[in-house]
Amino acid sequence: MLIWAGVLFVLGLGFSAFCSGTETAFYRSSRVKLVMSVMEGDRIGKLLAWFSNRPAFFVATILIANNIANYLVSFSITLAVVVLIDQGRSGVWELIATILISPIVFIFGESFPKSLGLLAPNRCLRVAAIPLVGVSVILAPAAALLWGIARLLENFVGQSPERMQMTLARKEIEQVLDEGQHAGILHPSQRQLTQNFFLVAARPIRQLCIPTSRITGIKPNTSRAAAVRFAQRHRLADIPVVDGQQKFVGYYHLVDLLVQENVDGPLPPPKPLRSLNADEAFGEAILWMQTNRESLVQVVNKQSQIVGLLSIDQLTSQLLKGPLESLRR
């Protein structure tokens, strides 16, 4: 029986080490490297990405597995003590076993594997990937039940797991930026620009556009000189054009008017105003405007009503904050 107790102890200790190291490596690993391995077609990377996209299921599986490991360790120690007592040994063996085994369990079942997961998270995850899949399959019914209870609690308290994932992802990106700057790959201004982008990337453009009630424009028959004076007076790089019914019909680039050869001649037809949905995210909007070379767009709501105008300068000004304000034009 002592042999069986020793076998159970080794199995439980190894299982505890596996759970502790894998859990630490999971939270410490770089999602950027994981995504890159998936893009390269790596099968192990795809398995790990599956767990990364389902953190609640991973936590439930590791929690159950860790409890099983702790139970095996405790059961093996209890079994060994009972055998020793049945053999006529003193009951003091229970105290001795606890004193001798506790440091071993702490060092080799908790501390050492967690240190490995902390120092080499991605490598540890790759080593643990196949065993993790096996454990997940075996414990799938219990893990699914625990995961379902967790989801019910999340709905009850109103905590969104997606929001938590976004918070964790932002912290991981900040860590990557810090490492890039320390390694000399990124200039401090590049790091600041990226951080500013992530702060506003998800904001809807309806929060950034200028409401129509605060916008004035020029008439289609306005002279070039008057249009330039209007732009200088209102400090505009793009000049909206409104018709007699105060509807926007297009816009002019101030720089195009300044380089126009015929100073006293009539203005050419204005550039048409294209539309963006008011719920469009900042990141998508600035990418679309840069790609399509649009410097001014009209923002419309779900009823196709114009709620305001948005210029590329308004978007870039959100990026050039803090130490980058001197770069504004």
DSSP bridge partners of 239? 252
> What pLDDT was estimated at residue 28?
80
Q: Over pLDDT 70: what percentage of the chain?
A: 80
- The predicted structure's pLDDT at residue 102: 77
Compute the radius of gyration of the chain from its Cα atoms.
32
Tell me the C-alpha distance between 118 and 231, whole Å.
58
Q: Which contiguous run of DSSP H or E holds residue 299?
A: strand 296-300
* Cβ neighbours of residue 71 closer than 8 Å, sequence gap 6 or more: 12
Q: 3-state DSSP call for residue 179?
A: helix
Residue 98, pLDDT score: 66
Q: What pLDDT is recorded for position 248?
A: 87
72-101 pLDDT per residue, tens: 888 888 887 777 676 655 556 666 666 777
Q: What percentage of the chain reaches a pLDDT higher than 90? A: 7
The mean per-residue pLDDT over the stretch 271-292 comes to 90
Q: Write down the pLDDT at residue 26.
A: 87
Q: Which residues contact 311 (CB under 8 A, 6 or more apart)?
A: 237, 238, 295, 296
Higher-pLDDT residue of 291, 54: 291
Q: What single-letter amino acid sits at 155?
A: N
Question: For residues 236 and 326, is the Cβ–Cβ distance under 8 A?
Answer: no
Give SS3 for 243.
Answer: coil
In this structure, which long-range contacts are made by residues 242-248, counting pairs with CB atoms below 8 Å and at least 24 apart in sequence?
Answer: 242/217, 242/218, 243/219, 244/219, 248/217, 248/273, 248/298, 248/306, 248/309
User: What's the rounded Cα separation, in Å, for the pair 136 and 55?
Assistant: 13
Residue 322's pLDDT band (boundaries 50, 70, 90)? confident
Cβ contacts of residue 196 below 8 Å, gap of 6+?
A: 318, 319, 320, 321, 322, 324
Residues 51, 156: Cα–Cα separation, whole Å: 24
| pLDDT interval class at 299 (50, 70, 90) | very high
Q: How far apart are CA 296 and CA 251, in angstroms?
A: 8
Full-model pTM = 0.52
Q: Greater confidence, 276 or 160?
A: 276
Give just the sign of the alpha carbon dihedral 142, 145, 148, 154: negative
**What is the C-alpha separation between 44 and 60, in angstroms, rounded?**
21
Task: Give the model's pLDDT for residue 145.
Answer: 83
Average pLDDT over residues 29-52: 81
> Which pLDDT score, from 0 to 100, does residue 298 have?
92
- pLDDT higher for 88 or 153? 153
Alpha carbons within 13 A on the beta-carbon side of 255 = 2
pLDDT of 209 higher than 80 = yes
What pLDDT, on a 0 to 100 scale, did the predictor assign at position 277?
A: 93
239 vs 98: which has the higher pLDDT: 239
Beta-carbon neighbour count of residue 136 at 10 Å? 20
Q: Is the pLDDT of residue 164 over 80?
A: no
pLDDT of residue 35: 74
Stretch 244-254: mean pLDDT:
84
Residue 296, pLDDT score: 92
**DSSP assignments along 50-62, one per residue:** HHHT-HHHHHHHH
Mean pLDDT within 285-308: 90
Confidence (pLDDT) at 187: 75
Hey, what are 127's tokens? 């080593």
Residue 154's pLDDT is what?
A: 66
